[in-house]
Amino acid sequence: MTNPLLVRWDTPFGLPPFDTISDEDFAPAMDKALAAHTAEIDAIAANTEPPTFANVIEAMEAAGEDLDQVLSVFFNIAGADSNPAREALQRDFSPKLAAHFAEISANKALFARVEAVWTARDTLDLSDEQARVLMLSHRGFVRSGAALTGEAEARMKEIKARLATLGTQFTQNLLADERDWFMPLAEEDLEGLPEFVISAARAAGEEKAADGPVVTLSRSLIVPFLQFSSRRDLREKAYKAWAARGANGGETDNRGIAAETLALREERAKLLGYDNFAAFKLETEMAGTADAVRNLLMDVWAPAKARAEVDAEALTQMMADDGVNGPLEAWDWRYYAEKRRAVLHDLDEATVKPYFQLDRMIEASFACATKLFGLSFEPLDVPLYHADCRAWNVTRDGAHVAVFIGDYFARGSKRSGAWCSAIRSQAHFPQVQTPVVVNVCNFAKGDPALLSYDDARTLFHEFGHALHQILSNVRYESVSGTSVARDFVELPSQLYEHWLEVPDVLREFATHAETGEAMPADLLEKVLAAATYDMGFQTVEYVASALVDLSFHDGAAPADPMAHQAQVLADIGMPAAIGMRHATPQFAHVFAGDGYSSGYYSYMWSEVMDADAFASFEEADGAFDPERAEALERHILSRGGSADAAELYTLFRGRLPGVEALLKGRGLLDAA
């Protein structure tokens, strides 16, 4: 029987035939795809013709079609709908893949041919995109250790394989802790909770087969519980469980994994001639150096901490007024901040949330894309990997552009957070292929499903990433869509969040779940006025995480990451009642792989640009200014990584931005 993962799919839009793919198909498909890719690479390396851009660089671009197909399906499913069989496959695949790509980067004959093309680049009459692809390919070989020999070369292979294993183990440990813990709630424990929290707790209880409602460690449930539960003892228990993920001892403890990962990264960087891992990692980013990153973060830290300290005094007084003695704790902040919001802005989330229906927010994100870029979205009835998923055919002027898949609800089989991935990326070589893009979120189920304002921002954020994939228009897949510098990749996503705040968008799509009526004008005004409420807290928890990440990698790897984390927080004066957004044992951005290692700052680096970029719309004819939208697509969304990020932003805006627009957007200018 033919393995469905190893054939070209004769399905609508070439979508994976999820209904015919079984877990048993992945291992044999992976083995055959790896062997086929190895044969293709060996043929490129052994080619006796003089090396050219076509027979080396383009040949590598065209190689590995089967492998790309297997990996894209497997890793999309493994992250969003895991099970024991898929977790076992991940543990098996990760070192195999690391070894496979390490062999390619260590292939001396192949590197010699790449080097020859690179040396002759000025004589090859390459297009700008081809020159960029050649530079990235050559640089990738060098940074992967292609120039290493002997013991150093062998050790690099070992390090890469071990890091792949550790990253998978870190992710699975975190998923296990999040999946296995829940706190049963008696009916009296629900007192004072808004209906949407109660509904989510009952749905979570059903999923866990519990006898009644529960609180889980899904952010979409635990955060509103911490906001609204008057039971301080239960808030404390829930918060401490949330903060302890990955640090509970036993088989799922991530602290040892973090220490070993940091040591191996340092060793890897030094084998390549860098002082430390941050110097290696940041070389290819817009920021360039650890000092540039630290300067940005500290420019924001000072006003954010000042604002948070003022807010903490007010919350402590509210707690004292409730007769609670002692200091404000991390499990108190969200509860009293929510009460204070109700006072300062005459606003509470329970009033707002019915206006943010998931389906209406999806419509809103699509409608903005229609108005900005002329895209249309038509529902598709096709097999997908989970019953919760939905798909749309994306068209422009009647022509197919992409398929978009949305997977919005939290479940035990899905890792935490939200992300965008591509089952197939856009390219024009070696054949034309349109993208298949997936947004994965972790919203609480309900009938209807209701979002917090932050949830709605997350939906817009991930759809901004999706648009970067959907509107990509480059020749080569290696520079398609979100294949850009890490501190540039968040620009389209964070920029798209701004359209949620456009009053006309909310007037049309923020309609009440029961009455269908539009959000009243006075409530809309309050929602927008409160958009920067508690921004001191939000900025502090983020920047603290980014500074810890940077410190982990900018110098000798700490033997005890938890002690190092504590020292960094002490040095910057971390407010006692605010926890890091991602403490080390849960910091999947940094330890599940090295994508965001030394790079968690990138959200803020991109925010400097997104605040400035949206200001350019406001300075023109408003949020939907057609000339600005066309420039955004032409210079950024369609270009992927086909040119330098700073160059692309300058083409769009005419200059690079400063930090002032970010501080203004966060409401922190007066705290600076």
Identify the CA nearest to 490 among candidates 451, 526, 542: 542
- SS3 (DSSP) at 396: strand
d(CA 297, CA 539): 10
Task: Locate the DSSP E strands across 73-159.
Answer: none
Q: Which run of H or E residues covers position 406?
A: strand 399-409
Per residue, the 3-state secondary structure of 185-221, as one string, reads CCHHHHCCCCHHHHHHHHHHHHHCCCCCCEEECCHHH
- Angle at CA of residue 243, ends 569 and 356, nearest 5°: 105
* CB atoms near residue 261 (< 10 Å): 26
The answer to whether residues 556 and 384 touch, using CB atoms and an 8 Å cutoff, is no
Spatial separation of the C-alpha atoms in residues 62 and 50, rounded to whole Å: 19
If 0-12 CB within 10 Å is exposed, 13-18 middle and 19+ buried, where does residue 624 land?
A: middle
**What are the strands, taking DSSP E only, across 266-415?**
375-380, 390-396, 399-409
The alpha carbon of 418 is separated from its chain's Cα centroid by a whole number of angstroms, namely: 6
Degrees (nearest 5) of the Cα angle 67, 73, 78? 115
* ω into 448 cis (within 30 of 0): yes
Q: In this structure, are residues 482 and 420 in contact, taking their beta carbons and an 8 Å threshold?
A: yes
Query: Which secondary-structure segment (H or E) carries 376?
Result: strand 375-380
Active site residue 497: no
Q: How many CB atoms lie within 10 A of CB 191?
A: 11
Would you say 361 and 451 are in contact if contact means Cβ atoms under 8 Å apart? yes
Residue 395, helix vs strand vs coil: strand
What Å distances lie between residue 359 and 220, 386, 448, 451, CA to CA? 17, 18, 8, 10
Pick left, alpha or beta for residue 14 (phi over 0 → left; psi -120 to 50 → alpha; otherwise beta). left
Greatest alpha-carbon pair distance for the chain in Å reads: 83
Angstrom distance (rounded) from CA 362 to CA 402: 17
Q: Which residues of 575-589 are buried (b: 16+ CB within 10 A; e: fewer)?
A: bebbbbbbbbbbbbb
Identity at 637, one-letter amino acid code: L
Residue at 531: amino acid letter: A
Measured between alpha carbons, how far is 610 from 169 in angstroms, rounded to an integer?
A: 34
CA distance linking residue 324 with residue 328, whole number of Å: 9
Residue in the structure block whose two tokens are 């009440």: 512
Catalytic residue among 266, 338, 462, 541: 462
Rounded alpha-carbon distances, angstroms, from residue 58 to 46, 115, 155, 611: 15, 14, 30, 37
In angstroms, rounded to a whole number, what is the distance separating the alpha carbons of residues 23 and 102? 26
How far is residue 413's CA from residue 175's CA, in Å, rounded to a whole number?
8
Compute how many other C-beta atoms are within 10 angstroms of the C-beta atom of residue 255. 15
Distance between CA atoms of 162 and 158, rounded to whole angstroms? 6
Which sequence positions are flagged as catalytic? 462
